[in-house]
Amino acid sequence: MDIFWVLFTLTLVSVIFEFDYFRISSNYWAWTLVLIIYLVIFSSIFELYDLQKASKFEIVLKNVILTVSATVLFFMLTPYFTPSLPANRLQILFFYLSMVGALLIWRFAYITLISSPRFYKKALLIGDIAELNLMVEALQKSDPNYVIIGYINTGEKTEQLISSELQQFEASHLKSIIEDENLNEIVVASSSARSKNVTASLLKDLNSLLIQGFPIKDYTQVYENLTYRVPVQHIGKDFYKFFLFSRSNHNKFYLFFLRVFDVFMSIIGLLICLVLIPIVYLINFIANRGSLFYTQDRVGKNAKKFKIIKFRTMLKDAEINGPQWSEKGDNRITPFGLFLRRARLDEFPQFLNILKGEMSIIGPRPERPVFVKELSKTLPFYKTRHIVKPGLTGWAQVMANYGSSYTDSLEKLQYDLYYIKHRGLFLDLNILLKTFSTILFFRGQ
C-alpha cells in the first residue's frame, strides 16, 4: 500500500501540474523499480513496518520524513538508474512533498480504520491460568490489533490473572462464547503438562468447531507468528516436536554464500578498523588510560571456545571481583567507551574473528563460558544457540532490549532460537536492515 499510494500520487501530480522529473511509463520502468527498492529498504530501516510504532501517528510522522528524505537523496545520487536533475529544482520539492503526503495520508487512514477496535482480531485462550499470565502479556504486547478477550482455565482454580479486564469463561459455554463475543479464533496451550484438566466435553466441542472450519490454533505457533520468538518456556519436554531446524543450517549453497559475504564484509570492516585505530587510541590514551583492545573467552559454534577482540570500553580492572553482567548505567563503562558502544564502533575489531571463521556477520551473540554455564542451568535449551556460528549482529540484538536479568536472557534466547529455526537469506537481510536502524537510533548499551 505504501508503494501503491506513492506511485499513484506521483502520477496524479504529473497530470495536474507541470511535473516531469519522474514519470511512470514503459520507457522509464527502471526509475520506478529503483524508487520502489529504495522506498522498501528505507521504510524497513526507519521502522515503518513495526506494528507497535505504525499504530502511533507521532512516531509515523517522524519515520515517514526520515524514510522519504533518505529515499529521495539516494534516488538523486544514482542518476545512471534515475532521471537527471531537472532545470527547475522546485520539481525535487514536488517529488519530496508528494511522497511525504501520500505516505502520511495513507498511514493516517491505516491508524484510523485498520488499527481501530472494530478491526481487532479477537481470541480466546484455553490453558492453565498459572501460565496464561505470561501468554496474555506476550501476545498483547506483540500486536496492537490482536486482543485476548478472555480465557478458559484448565488448571488449578487458585491462581489469579494479572489483567482484571479479561473475562473468565466456563468450558461448557464455548459455542455461545464464540457467538456472543464475536471471536475470530481460539488459542489452545496444548502441552500435555497443561492439558491434564481438559475435560472430554471441551475436547469434543473443540473438535466439532475445528470440523466446522472455526480457527483453532496452538499457542506456540501463534506466539511465534506474532512475536518472532520461540516460546521455549511453554514447550517443555515437547521442545523437539516444535523446533524444526532450518534447512539452511545444512544448505551448502547458503553456507558458501554466507561465508563469502562474511569474508568480504570482514575485509571492509578491518580496513575501516585500521582507520579508526589511531583516533580511538589517541582518545583512549587521554580519557581512559589503558590498553586499546581487550580479549575475552566466548563460546562459539559447537560449544568451542575462542577469544573475541574488541576496543576496550571499560575501566581497567573492571572485573576485579570476578565476571559480572554489564548493566544499564554501568559505572565501569567510561564516557568514551559508552560512545563507542552506542555507535557500535567497539565491535569493529571482531571482523578479525569473522575473517578467521570463529564468528559470522549474523548469528546469536557469543556469550562468556561462565554465563553460558549459569544460564544453561535455568534456561531450557540455552546451549542450542551453539548450533550455528555466533554473530556480530543477530535477531535478538535488533529485536530485544539490552538486559542482564533472567527475563532479558530468556527473551534473547527466544529470538536466537527463532533465528536458528527460520534462518535464511530473507531473515538475514531483515536483520541487516534492522541493524542499521539500531545504529541510526543509537539503541543499545
Q: 115-137, pLDDT tens digit by residue?
A: 666 667 888 888 776 667 667 77
Q: What's the mean pLDDT in 199-211?
A: 84
Q: 61 by DSSP, 3-state: which?
A: helix
Decide if pLDDT at 193 tops 50: no
Task: Give the count of beta carbons closer than 10 Å to the beta carbon of residue 199.
Answer: 11
> Nearest CA to 57 among 1, 120, 106?
106
| Whether residue 159 has pLDDT greater than 90 | no
Per-residue cell: 357: 571463521
Task: Tell me the pTM.
Answer: 0.77
Q: Compute and round to an integer the Cα radius of gyration of the chain.
A: 26
Mean pLDDT of the chain: 82
- pLDDT mean over 426-441: 83
**Distance between CA atoms of 249 and 208, rounded to whole angstroms?**
40
Q: With 70 as the cut, is the pLDDT of residue 202 above it?
A: yes
Please report which confidence band the pLDDT of residue 28 belongs to, taking 50, 70 and 90 as the band edges: confident
CA neighbor of 271 nearest in space, from 331, 393, 355, 212: 355
Range among 11-25, 55-69, 87-101, 353-367 with highest mean pLDDT value:
353-367
Q: What is the 3-state secondary structure (H, E, C) of 249-296?
A: HHCHHHHHHHHHHHHHHHHHHHHHHHHHHHHHHHHHHHHCCCCCEEEE
Residue 438 has pLDDT above 90, yes or no: no
Q: What is the mean pLDDT of residues 385-397?
A: 91
- More reliable by pLDDT, 69 or 404: 69
Q: What is the pLDDT at residue 421?
A: 87
> 411, 18, 386: which is closest to 229 by C-alpha?
411
**Nearest to residue 226, comparing CAs of 361, 65, 51?**
51
Residue with the bigger pLDDT between 421 and 232: it is: 421
Query: Residue 265's pLDDT band (boundaries 50, 70, 90)?
Result: very high
Cell 510522522, residue?
61
CA atoms within 13 A on the CB side of 322: 2
- Give every CB contact of residue 148 below 8 A, 6+ residues apart in sequence: 123, 124, 125, 136, 139, 140, 166, 187
CB distance 235 to 191 below 8 Å: yes
Question: Beta partners for 437?
Answer: none
Q: How many residues does the chain have?
A: 445
Q: Which of the pair, 193 or 163, is modelled with greater confidence?
A: 163
Residues 316, 337 contacting (CB under 8 angstroms): no
Percent of the chain at pLDDT above 70? 84
Region 243-253: what's the mean pLDDT? 72
Place of cell 520539492: 93
Cα separation, 249 vs 384, whole angstroms: 13
Task: Look up residue 238 and give its three cell numbers.
Answer: 515437547
SS3 label, residue 336: helix
Which residue carries 482480531 as its cell? 121
pLDDT of residue 113: 80
Q: For the residues 86-106, what does the mean pLDDT come to?
A: 87
Q: How far is it, in rounded angstroms, from Cα 135 to Cα 147?
A: 12
Taking residues 410-430, report their average pLDDT. Answer: 88
Between 118 and 262, residue with greater pLDDT: 262
* 39-52 pLDDT tens trace: 999 998 888 887 77
Per-residue DSSP letter, 164:
T
Pairing state between β 305-311 and 293-299: antiparallel
Contact 383, 376 (CB under 8 A): yes
Examine the pLDDT at 158 and tell me if it is beyond 60: no
Q: Which of 32-36, 83-87, 191-195, 380-384 shows the lowest mean pLDDT across its residues?
A: 191-195
pLDDT band at 442 (very low <50, low <70, confident <90, very high): low
The yes-or-no verdict on residue 95 having pLDDT over 70 is yes
Predicted local confidence at residue 239, as pLDDT: 58
Q: Residues 7-20: pLDDT tens digits?
A: 999 888 888 877 77
159 with 191: CB under 8 angstroms? no
Mean pLDDT, residues 201-228: 86
Rounded CA separation 232/384 (Å): 11
Q: What angle do CA 80, 86, 89 make, to 5 degrees?
A: 130
Cα-to-chain-centroid distance, residue 121: 22
User: Which residues are 299's β-sheet partners?
Assistant: 305
The cell for 335 is: 564516557
Residue 217: strand, helix, or coil: strand
Q: What is the pLDDT of residue 262?
A: 95
Helix (H, G, I), strand (E, B) or coil at 124: strand
